[in-house]
Amino acid sequence: MRSADIQEIFDPIVNRIVELIKKQIHNVQRKGERVAAIMLVGGFGSSGYLY
């Protein structure tokens, strides 16, 4: 597989994760609170591709 093939597979997943995180941050901020940290867990949470 080429790196472009891998990127094509992972990009939609990463984009969905980012959108879910943004939604959670927005929900917290809407309550007047502040997000101090975000912890990603699970196998994909340790993937260098996310960072």
d(CA 19, CA 15): 6
Q: According to the model, what pLDDT value does residue 33 have? A: 97
Asked whether the predicted pLDDT for residue 51 surpasses 80, the reply is no
Query: In this predicted model, what pLDDT tens digit does every residue of 6-19 receive, in sequence order?
Result: 899 989 999 999 99
Side chain identity at residue 32, one-letter code: G
Residue 21 tokens read as 């995180």
Q: Let me know: does 17 contact 50? Beta carbons within 8 Å.
A: yes
Check residues 2 and 49 and name the one with the higher pLDDT: 2
pTM confidence score? 0.76
At 20-50, the pLDDT tens digits run 999 999 999 999 999 999 988 888 888 877 7
Is the CB of residue 14 less than 8 Å from the CB of residue 49? yes
> Closest Cα partner for 1 from 44, 49, 10?
10
